[in-house]
Amino acid sequence: HLTILMLKAGFRTDYVPDAIAATVVPDRMGPYLRQQLRWARSTFRDTLLALRLLTGLDRYITLDVIGQNLGPLLLALAVLAGVLQVLLTATVPLWTVVMIASMTMIRCAVAAVRARQLRFLAFSLHTPINLFFLLPLKAYALCT
């Protein structure tokens, strides 16, 4: 939200890989999910504010904003299609697993290349949390 306000005011923002920031990180699942719900609501709200700014932003930021909003939708569709395949045909949805793994690795790879830090590839380990906890939470955030 602060970045969008700065860009809207005509300022520039830059990614600084060696910047240090302090934050409070929840150490239990309940507070973590509440934090993620706040952040998801902010993402959806801020995207509406940023729509007209997207054309003038850096391509990576534009891609990131689009990805933060379309990514969960595509992921939800992939998961839903996979669950339906299991229920209707009793077969393993291998293509769904490949799709989810591909989306995850592409997003992590873009971040790793952009930041020039391979450690961003480790974010792919976050996928199970995203699928089983954050995806339903983002759907709830969008509805509320």
Q: What is the pLDDT of residues 33-57, one digit of tens each?
A: 999 999 889 888 888 777 777 777 7
What is the rounded CA–CA span in Å between residue 125 and residue 104? 9
Range of the domain at 87: 1-15+36-143
Residue 107 lies in a domain: yes
What DSSP character marks residue 120?
Answer: G
Q: What is the 3-state secondary structure (H, E, C) of 96-132?
A: HHHHHHHHHHHHHHHHHHHHCCHHHHHHHHHHHHHHH
What DSSP character marks residue 128?
Answer: H
Where does the pLDDT of residue 67 fall: very low under 50, low under 70, confident under 90, or very high at 90 and above? confident
Residue 73 lies in a domain: yes
Helix axes 29-50, 59-89, angle to 10 degrees: 120
Q: What's the whole-model pTM score?
A: 0.68
How many domains, the chain? 1
